[in-house]
Amino acid sequence: MPKLLSEAEITSRLKGLKGWKHEGKFITRTLEFDHFMDAIAFVNEVAEAAERQEHHPDINIRYTTVKLSIQTHSEGRVTSWDFDLAKAIDVVEEAVRRENAG
């Protein structure tokens, strides 16, 4: 069972992540890509990472903008699992941007 996090714990953990915010019962991040296919490549890689963790974000794609929202659905709130997934997503983002830059 994942650990439910207090507001203070969420705020503290967000400091270690790039661009993530606490919005209601989720942690969220919005990313912009240069091209639609870059955004889709990112989403595909996020899907792979989420499957490996058996923990899945809500994903909204609007052309070159991708918004990710994470919460542990079974708990209805943010837990330690959500920060593990956020960290994995940050790694995916770096890899996709490197690949698309070169």
> What's the DSSP call for residue 81?
H
Q: Is the pTM of this model over 0.85?
A: yes
Determine the Cα–Cα distance for residues 44 and 48; give it in Å rounded to an integer: 6
Q: Is residue 1 part of a domain?
A: no
> Which pLDDT score is estimated for 102?
67
Task: Give residue 82's pLDDT.
Answer: 96
What CATH number does the domain containing 96 carry? 3.30.1360.20
Predicted pLDDT of residue 100: 83
The count of domains in the chain is 1
Q: Is residue 61 part of a domain?
A: yes
Query: Does residue 2 form part of some domain?
Result: no
Q: Is residue 48 part of a domain?
A: yes
Residue 71 placed within a domain = yes
Q: What range does the domain containing 89 cover?
A: 7-101
pLDDT of residue 101: 81
Segment-wise mean pLDDT, segments of 10 residues, the chain, 102 residues: 91 95 97 96 96 94 98 94 96 91 74
pLDDT at 29: 98
Q: Which residues contact 17 (CB under 8 A, 6 or more apart)?
A: 29, 83, 86, 87, 90
